[in-house]
Amino acid sequence: MKRISFFSLIISLMVLVSGCGQAATNAGEEKGNTLVIATNPSFNGFPEILEYIQPKLKEQGIDLKIQFVNDIIQPNELVNDKSVDANAFQHIPYMESYNKQHGTQLVAAIYCVGLAFRTLF
């Protein structure tokens, strides 16, 4: 069961990243096919998943850049100020609390049940 959840997550991330890469291309070729996702090396599996799909996305013409951060505040700040396209590290209650405390409007893109209820935003 765990293996199915892991592969479902990888497929979901690839679909999301592929769609985001296409949206960036259609939006005016400013960033080309580059997608930047912030995460932390200690965020339970997300760095490994992103590194796993990175070469597969490259084959599809999408350049996935992984930006490592040192805490749990930076990823949301980077998404909010549009320095990165998404982050991978948190659950919905944390995101909602962050939005209330900081006046942001971050939304979930993928809900990942298989990885300790973490989400990609």
Domain span holding position 52: 2-120
In terms of Cα–Cα distance, which of 24, 11, 8, 22 is closest to 85?
24
Q: How many domains does the chain have?
A: 1
- Model's pTM, two decimal places? 0.68
CA 3 to chain centre: 20
**Dihedral of alpha carbons 99, 89, 33, 13, sign:** negative
In order of 19, 28, 32, 48, the CA distances from 40 in angstroms are 23, 30, 25, 11
CATH of the domain at 100: 3.40.190.10
The letter for the amino acid at 113 is V
Structure confidence by residue, pLDDT tens digits, 18-66: 444 444 444 434 557 999 999 988 877 788 889 999 999 999 999 999 9
Residue 9 burial (C-beta neighbours within 10 Å; 0-12, 13-18, 19+): buried
CA 65 to chain centre: 10
Structure confidence by residue, pLDDT tens digits, 65-81: 999 999 889 999 999 99
